[in-house]
Structure 1
Amino acid sequence: MVAKPPAVKGRLVSRSGKIAMCLLLFAYQCHPSYPLLLIANRDEFYRRPSAPAARWPGTQLIAGRDLEARGTWAGASPGRIAAVTNVREPGVPEPLEALSRGEIPQQFLCKRDSPEQFIQSLQPQRYRGFNALLFDIDSENSLACAGNRHTPFIFTAGIHGISNGAADEPWPKVERGKAALAEIIPGADQPVTFANFVEPALALLRDRTPAPDPQLPQTGLATEIERALSPIFIHIVANSPATAAMLPSGGYGTRASTVITIDRKGHCQLWEQTFVNGAPSGPLRHLKTPQLA
């Protein structure tokens, strides 16, 4: 479990000017034809520039791109999937000359190292708190969780979730999301299609239901902000003196919803819907990787 920082009733941002948000929900070895089904929301300040999912030039990587730090939050390459979430720990100082956490999935997806080999090559002390999901279809231990607030480990088969604490830490949005994901996984005799999985997964990721106050995680933020961050889909605008005091201008919320599937041949498909100020922006994007040779 991630150690809880002391209570800080301040701004939404940490000392580094960053915020720790995102949600990963995934079904590992729950369908005979698809070893991993991943759905994710990327939450970020509305003012931070980003590019929608695309194939990155000179690579087989498909992912959205953070145009400020140049990394990604979730993506795929042939036979591989990776994603990262931040650990919410307001007031914790960042490392000297900290590296961008978004480079972790980018680098993994452009290499052929196993998850365990890649974890050994990381310099975890160079990053602010993170959890990184690393999947390689050709590795014996194919799905690993790297991080610098816990010992790296291998996932067991099942439905899992990571928000901004430890993996499977029972935050309301994680528990709600895992239960909903279990309901939409197609049966073993059914292929995964847009209609029977992708569409309901994207609907799941639009859930704006806040958690009851007694169930909110205690991560050091004011209760008002913990409540605003508790839905699966987040939309916060600085429209009151209270929120303006805790948010930089421009607001904060879910910027992209992503669904990634991979079949037994290593063929990945990625769907992504981007959002601006809580509303869809642009069309739903659909990208594919080649199959493994």
Structure 2
Amino acid sequence: MCLLLIAYRQHPKFPLLLLANRDEFYARPTEPAHPWPNSPITAGRDLQAGGTWLGITPGGRVAAVTNIREPQVPEPEGALSRGEIPVRFLEGEESPAAFAKGLAGQRYRGFNALLFDARLLAGGAAASLVCAGNRHQPFAITAGVHGISNGAPDAPWPKVTHGCRALAELAATLPDSLGQDNFVTPALKLLADHRRAATEQLPDTGVGEALESALSPIFVRITADDAMPDSPLSAGYGTRLSSLVAVDADGGAQFWEQGYTDGLVSGPPQYFQLPAG
């Protein structure tokens, strides 16, 4: 998952609105979102490593993960898959803060993990939304609109700043009932923005200006011209899925997922509705 846009406590009925794009190699085997057998999780599944990038459960637990782009940093010995982090949180009962504190961050390559539990919204004693990671200390996310891509949370990358601005405008217009016209279509349009950032706005993560530019849109589609011939990205890389999550104050959750094949829309969005806890 390479972009998370979060509207937290910005709507009177839906304290969490989450828009996300998963960027991945086109050839990496993946199952679309579905209820997992013998598990409370509804999510897509990475068939190569077995985990997920974003998932939800009944009662309003939500988890997502992004990697951190740091090509010069070596992989830790015996590295674990970052996709297991959402799975472990969603199948457990720990609060976001407790789970984040217990993560063995040194066993993973760089990551940010978003952890939410709607059951903590009313109590006020514990944070309901936490950002964990192994390049920063875990912290509670404050009310507002936030973005996480492949750097530090809320880093002012163009896709983050543009996405947050657009999500704030969308959240301000939403009624108490979400549907295709008032939420799904405009949210997916936001996530389909393929405009590249100006050169002077690009971050420098060590991959070179051409690739920084190709990775700069909200919706990524890498061509052979964007990557070095010997780079695995030249075989096809980009946004594979767009996901929308809305959790109400009682913990009821709605989840839409739009798939793409080689950067093009593949069928209608899937829709799941999970009950409150």
Q: TM-score range by the shorter chain?
A: over 0.9
**Is the CA contact (8 Å cut-off) linking 1:60 and 1:289 kept in structure 2?**
no
Match of residue 210 from structure 1 = 196
Q: Given the alignment of the two structures, is residue 51 of structure 1 paired with residue 36 of structure 2, yes or no?
A: no
Q: Percent identity?
A: 56
Is residue 54–residue 62 contact of structure 1 (8 Å, CA) maintained in 2? Answer: yes
Instruction: Identify the residue that residue 7 of structure 1 maps to in structure 2.
Output: none
Q: Is 1:88 matched with 2:74?
A: no
Runs of 4+ in 1 over 2 A off after TM superposition: 186-194, 240-250
Q: What does 1:105-116 align with in structure 2 at a 5 Å threshold?
A: 105-116=86-97
Residues 1-40 of structure 1: CA distance to partner in whole angstroms, max 9, x if unpaired?
A: xxxxxxxxxxxxxxxxxxxx60000100001111100000
- Separation in 2 of the partners of 1:203 and 1:35? 22
Aligned match of 2:262? 277
Contact between 2:96 and 2:115, CA under 8 Å: does it hold in 1?
yes
CA 183–91 in structure 1, closer or farther in 2 if over 3 Å, else same:
same
Contact 2:26 2:237 (8 Å CA) reproduced: yes
- 2:268 equivalent to 1:263: no
- Structure 1 273/188 Cα, relative in aligned 2: closer, same or farther at 3 Å? closer
Give yes or no for contact 2:14–2:247 (8 Å, CA) kept in 1. Answer: yes
Matched-pair contact (CA < 8 Å) for 1:146–1:153: yes
Distance 1:250 1:116, change over 3 A: same
- Relative to structure 1, is the Cα distance of residues 241 and 184 closer, same or farther in structure 2, using a 3 angstrom cutoff? closer
C-alpha separation in 2, matches of 1:181 and 1:121 = 32
Unmatched 5+ residue regions in structure 1? 1-20
Q: In 2 relative to 1, CA 241–277 (structure 1 residues): closer, same or farther, beyond 3 Å? A: closer
Q: Distance in 1 between matches of 2:226 and 2:24?
A: 21
Matches of 1:242 and 1:118 in 2, distance apart? Answer: 38
Structure 2 CA distance for partners of 1:160 and 1:242, relative to 1, 3 Å? closer
Could you report, residue by residue, the CA deviation over 1:82-113 in whole angstroms, capped at 9, with x for unpaired residues?
10000100121111110000110111111111
SS at match of 1:174: helix
Letter of the aligned partner of 2:242 in structure 1? S
C-alpha displacement of 1:153: 0.3
Report the TM-score, using the length of structure 2 for normalisation. Answer: 0.94
Indicate whether 1:291 and 2:269 are aligned.
no
How far 1:191 moved relative to its partner?
Answer: 2.9
Q: Which runs of 5+ in 2 are unaligned?
A: 121-125
What is the aligned residue count? 271
Counterpart in the other structure of 2:22 = 42
Q: Does the C-alpha gap of structure 1 residues 226 and 262 become closer, same or farther in structure 2, counting only changes over 3 Å?
A: same
Inter-CA distance 274–189: structure 2 relative to 1 (3 Å threshold)? closer
Partner of 2:123: none
Question: What whole-Å deviation, never above 9, does each CA across 1:133-185 have from its counterpart, x for those lacking one?
Answer: 00001223100000000011001100000001111000000001001111111
Equivalent residue for 2:223, pick from 198, 222, 237: 237
The letter of the residue matching 1:267 is G
In the TM superposition, 1:56-71 aligns within 5 A as 56-71=36-51
Query: RMSD over aligned Cα, in angstroms?
Result: 1.5
Quote the residue 1:103 is aligned against.
84
